[in-house]
Structure 1
Amino acid sequence: MKIIKESIEGYKGFKIPYKLYGKKEDSQDLYILLPGSGYTVNSPVFHYISGIIFNNNKDILEVNYSYNTDFYSDFNKEEIIKAVKMDSRLVIDTVLETNSYTNFYFIGKSLGTIAMSSELRREKFKEAKAIWLTPLLNLDEVLETIVNIGNKGFCIIGDKDQVYKEELYDRLIQNKNLTSQLISGVNHSLDYNDDIINSIDVLKNIIIDIDKFLSEDF
């Protein structure tokens, strides 16, 4: 079993922790988790999907940035965007320097989809598969990447998400490489407001659908 916990010096010198782990020492598959600002790798969707990936003997890389700390309190929107791109790339490249992977998978939530949009333009990731969880469709960079990218992908968003707009989603679904799921009544946290039981059902269905998408490569 492999477990590596380290950190790198990221944007403006702030330490960015990461964790690389898996059951096998020689896995050729790397699943890269890029969480949201408040939706960490310990949050429900990441927690259960990580378990499925781990049990299928694949390696997982958690990029554990946290942009809601005091260090970033004076950062504007543009600086946060720059930070998440730079920090994610530094972690990924650090891991790839000492590990040989041939297959790559990105799973990003909200803020993490900014980093995904940047990484998937790189030649080394042209065959990577992508799972977009509540992507920031209100950012042109993210939307244009999802609309035009050739990578096979799966997108999940709720119609009560503050970044959802019907006209933007209609553009997204034109990409024939993308399978998309619009969940009625669900917010940016992939929950129903004030409805815990039905939110649990949504979570279960999301995990089932992502499992089906990933199982083609297990």
Structure 2
Amino acid sequence: MEIIDKTIQVENKPSITYTHYQSGSDKMCFMFSGTGYTYDSPALYYATLLLLEKKYDIIQIHYSSIDDLLRLPLEEIPELIFQMVNPVIEEVTSNHQYSEYVFIGKSIGTMPIVLEYMNQERFNDSKWIILTPSLKIDRMAYSLLNSKQIAYIAIGDADPHFNFAAIEKLKQKQFQLDIFPKANHSLNIDGNVSASIKVIERILNKIDELL
């Protein structure tokens, strides 16, 4: 296996860097981290190891100019994130034809998945893992509620992005949904290490089932 770091420069836009775990597989996972929740954080770190065990190629996208982005109104961020990451998706899919795609997103990284890629016909048969989505953004909740895709969604009810009304509607849909009592946006339960570990274990078991 090779681990390759690449940077794409798009005219009049910030450069975007990604890491490609390349083993010659015909299965690809695109991973979109959060801002503070990086690929070294538990859910994404162990998901990466699990994917490598199962012989997936992996793309981990690294955002640029993220501090400037986060100063913008929340409703403006999804489109800008998509414009930032999409050149990576286009480059990878144009250079190699994969038979299977998996998308894993955490927090801000769920935005391009939910609002764009889940609605693209070319990814209709893909697998979707949506961790702590920003359900207080109306477009995010609406897009999920109207999606025909089957996704695994995990969020804690102590997460500031938790939206009770949206969750109640999502429960009526086709999604596999885990709501973790007292878990925050980092999927931790403050003051309870063993319970926090069980949250991550549950998420990894669900990812394992989906793969």
TM-score (norm 2): 0.91
- Counterpart among 125, 136, 139 of residue 138 in structure 1: 136
- Counterpart among 150, 153, 156 of residue 152 in structure 1: 150
Does 1:108 pair with 2:122? no
Alignment partners' CA distance in 2, 1:213 and 1:123: 20
Cα displacement (A) at 1:81: 2.4
Does 1:190 pair with 2:182? no
Question: Is the CA contact (8 Å cut-off) linking 1:191 and 1:199 kept in structure 2?
Answer: yes
Counterpart of 2:51, as a letter, is I
Question: Is the CA contact (8 Å cut-off) linking 1:37 and 1:67 kept in structure 2?
Answer: no
Cα displacement (A) at 1:175: 1.6
Aligned residue number for residue 206 of structure 2: 209
Identity of aligned residues (%): 29
Structure 2 CA distance for partners of 1:74 and 1:182, relative to 1, 3 Å: closer
Cα displacement (A) at 1:80: 2.9
- Counterpart among 69, 92, 96 of residue 95 in structure 1: 92
Cα displacement (A) at 1:205: 2.4
Does 1:13 pair with 2:5? no
Alignment partners' CA distance in 2, 1:149 and 1:129: 13
Cα displacement (A) at 1:164: 1.1
Alignment partners' CA distance in 1, 2:76 and 2:138: 16
Q: How many aligned residue pairs are there?
A: 210
TM-score (norm 1): 0.88
Q: Deviations over 1:107-166 (max 9, x none)?
A: 111101111021221121122111110111111222122212122211101111111122
Question: Over aligned residue pairs, what C-alpha RMSD do you find?
Answer: 1.9
Q: What SS does structure 2 have at the residue aligned with 1:199?
A: helix
Cα displacement (A) at 1:76: 4.0
Q: Superposition pairs for residues 54-133 of structure 1, below 5 Å?
A: 54-69=52-67, 71-72=68-69, 75-117=72-114, 118-133=116-131
Cα displacement (A) at 1:64: 1.0
Cα displacement (A) at 1:46: 0.6
Residue segments in structure 1 that go unaligned for 5+ positions in a row:
none
Alignment partners' CA distance in 1, 2:11 and 2:188: 32
Alignment partners' CA distance in 2, 1:128 and 1:119: 10
Cα displacement (A) at 1:98: 1.0
Cα displacement (A) at 1:15: 1.6
Alignment partners' CA distance in 2, 1:73 and 1:175: 31
Residue segments in structure 2 that go unaligned for 5+ positions in a row:
none
Counterpart of 1:3, as a letter, is I
Structure 2 CA distance for partners of 1:73 and 1:132, relative to 1, 3 Å: closer
Q: What SS does structure 2 have at the residue aligned with 1:120?
A: helix
Alignment partners' CA distance in 1, 2:92 and 2:29: 12
